[in-house]
Amino acid sequence: MTTKRDYYEVLNVDRNATKEDIKNKYRKLALQFHPDRNKDAGAEEKFKEISEAYAVLSDDEKRRKYDRYGHVGSEEVFRGSESNFDEIFRDIGFGGIRDIFEQLFGGGSSARNRSDPFGFGFNFGRNNRGEDTVIDLSLTLEDVISGKNETIEVPSLEKCSVCNGSGCYPGTKRRKCTSCNGLGQTKRVFSENRFSTFVTVETCRTCRGIGEIIEKPCKNCKATGKVSA
């Protein structure tokens, strides 16, 4: 016999509560019992309980099964920790755990495998992204859960007028990297015997993958070719 409390009781809402009512109640309880804010004994278990209840009652299909079959109809919802938190965070406006990692690290392993199926470091058919802009922004737990609009200023860059965007000191130019012959990658071949040969490919350490060397950098842009607008 199940010992779980009724999900409606857990969130303290009526059985005919709207999705908006359920969401608002969950946000309030999540702030109250989140382990980072509440160090009382049992707060973490309470937070898990209300999160489980919200994951079911905020989904129309899962709520319908729960209303009809009780906990037996919804027990599959919380099998596997990753899917649990994916579901909870998506329901309150966040991507799943995989989405978060892909945003942080520029794509998951599957994306890397598609562009570089053999792990040699080459980029097969994948467009190079521009540089990311990183902005530090302080948020409270209340901001994260309840949502907050924040206006930020994104720095704008333009081509350096001194070097015309080359990054080189006026009157000089880049030269081809001799370490990688302008390829931006270096290859090393290891032969253990006449039957086995290993090849490793890595980003050129001399030019850092650019394929060119700036011997005398522009002082105005410090070899970046760009300055603040």
Tens-digit pLDDT profile for residues 45-67: 898 899 889 989 998 989 998 88
Q: Which CATH number does the domain housing residue 217 bear?
A: 2.10.230.10
| Residue 177, pLDDT above cutoff 60 | yes
* Whole-structure pTM value: 0.38
Q: How many domains are there within the chain?
A: 2
What is the rounded CA–CA span in Å between residue 167 and residue 173?
Answer: 9
Contact 97, 82 (CB under 8 A): yes
Phi, psi of 192 (to 5 degrees): -80, -35
Q: What is the dihedral of CA 189, 192, 197, 198, to 10 degrees?
A: -60
Q: What domain range includes position 161?
A: 156-228
pLDDT in tens, 126-154: 455 566 777 788 888 777 777 778 888 87
If you average pLDDT over every residue of the chain, what do you get?
75
User: In terms of Cα–Cα distance, which of 114, 109, 121 is closest to 200?
Assistant: 121
Residues 47 and 96 in one domain: yes
We report the CATH number of the domain holding residue 111 as 1.10.287.110
DSSP 8-class letter at 107: S
pLDDT of residue 92: 45
Check residue 224 and give its pLDDT: 87
Domain finish residue from 111, 138, 154:
154
Quick one: 149 and 213 in the same domain? no
Mark whether 78 and 140 lie in a shared domain. yes
Q: How far is CA 201 from the centre of its chain?
A: 27
Tokens representing residue 55 in the block: 């994951």
185 and 79 co-located in one domain: no
Q: In the listed set 154, 182, 213, which residue is the last one of a domain according to the structure?
A: 154
Q: 54: exposed, middle or buried (C-beta count within 10 Å: 0-12, 13-18, 19+)?
A: buried
Q: Are residues 124 and 15 in the same domain?
A: yes
Residue where a domain terminates, one of 154, 170, 196:
154
Same domain, 74 and 146: yes
113 with 176, same domain?
no
- Give yes or no: residues 189 and 144 share one domain: no
The per-residue pLDDT for 168 is: 93
> What phi, psi does 29 have (nearest 5°)?
-70, -35
Q: What pLDDT score was predicted for residue 115?
A: 40
pLDDT band at 69 (very low <50, low <70, confident <90, very high): confident
Tell me if 214 sits within 8 A of 223, measured CB to CB.
Answer: yes
Q: Are residues 39 and 144 in the same domain?
A: yes
